[in-house]
């Protein structure tokens, strides 16, 4: 079972979410503001962060950004902001999934299960993998999820890492957005192809010159050119 950090300033909402996740056997911690969330995340190292956008003081986007500076923990962002530009901003900052308020508890728990399932599947896949991926200037070690470019570690989010591992394990092979969405996300993600494109942009930027080897295949998707 997972350790889940709930970051929500509305006490009734936080209590409701806590009951839901604990009802499935998970352990839940609650933070009611951004600074408390960062402290708890550093101390407890949760498996998932459920993060409200609108928080007093340090808002959810700022918390997300700071979490991404130190961790690849999956982040499910909750917000009343339904505009596409807001979803894009959240994904660019580093959120792994996005759920718009008001939402049904059934859909919420489906998202939580999907994220935790992907993390667990990736963990098992990495343990059974063929070993490190070694390409010119790029090394990926699945055992500790470590990515290095020219010998320097690059910090990636869970989905950025998963995208890179798929592409780099099969250099020269083209992957459709639909395939990547199915493997890295689940079919309940709101972002669709936009989620794939946004994460590829972030991944390219973090990898620097090596990121230029992630090529866009017109009308198809992406491939890693060795």
CATH class of 3-122: alpha beta
193-207 burial: b if 16+ Cβ within 10 Å, else e: ebbbbbbbebbbebb
- Site of tokens 């992630």: 214
Q: Report the distance separating Cα 146 and Cα 161, nearest Å.
A: 9
Domain boundaries, the chain: 3-122, 129-224
Name the CATH topology of 129-224.
Arc Repressor Mutant, subunit A (1.10.10)
Q: Provide the terminal-to-terminal Cα distance of the chain, rounded to the nearest Å.
A: 39
The reported pTM is 0.61
226 residues of the chain, pLDDT tens digit each: 899 999 999 999 999 999 999 999 999 999 999 999 999 998 888 999 999 988 988 999 899 888 877 777 889 999 876 666 666 777 777 788 888 888 899 999 999 998 888 777 766 655 555 678 999 999 998 877 899 999 999 999 888 999 999 999 888 888 888 778 878 876 455 556 678 899 999 999 999 999 999 999 887 789 999 7
Q: Do domains 3-122 and 129-224 have the same CATH topology?
A: no
* β-bridge pairing 3-7 and 48-52: parallel
DSSP calls for 167-217? HHHSTT--EEHHHHHHHHS-TT-SSTHHHHHHHHHHHHHHHGGGGGGEEEE
């Amino acid at each position: 079972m997972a350790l889940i950090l709930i970051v929500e300033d509305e006490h009734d909402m936080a209590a409701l979410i806590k009951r839901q996740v604990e009802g499935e056997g998970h352990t839940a911690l609650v933070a009611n503001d951004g600074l408390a969330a960062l402290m708890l995340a550093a101390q407890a190292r949760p498996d998932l962060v459920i993060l409200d956008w609108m928080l007093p003081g340090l808002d959810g986007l700022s918390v997300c950004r700071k979490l991404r500076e130190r961790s690849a923990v999956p982040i499910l962002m909750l917000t009343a902001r339904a505009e596409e530009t807001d979803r894009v901003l959240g994904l660019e900052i580093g959120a792994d999934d996005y759920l718009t308020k008001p939402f049904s508890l059934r859909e919420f728990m489906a998202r939580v299960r999907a994220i935790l399932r992907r993390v667990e599947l990736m963990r098992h896949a990495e343990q059974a993998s063929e070993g490190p991926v070694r390409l010119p200037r790029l090394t990926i070690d699945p055992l500790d999820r470590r990515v290095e470019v020219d010998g320097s570690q690059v910090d990636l989010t869970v989905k950025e890492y998963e995208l890179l591992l798929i592409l780099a394990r099969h250099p020269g092979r083209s992957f459709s957005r639909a395939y990547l969405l199915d493997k890295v996300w689940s079919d309940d993600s709101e972002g669709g192809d936009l989620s794939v494109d946004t994460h590829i942009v972030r991944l390219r930027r973090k990898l620097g010159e090596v990121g230029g080897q992630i090529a866009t295949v017109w009308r198809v998707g992406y491939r890693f050119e060795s």
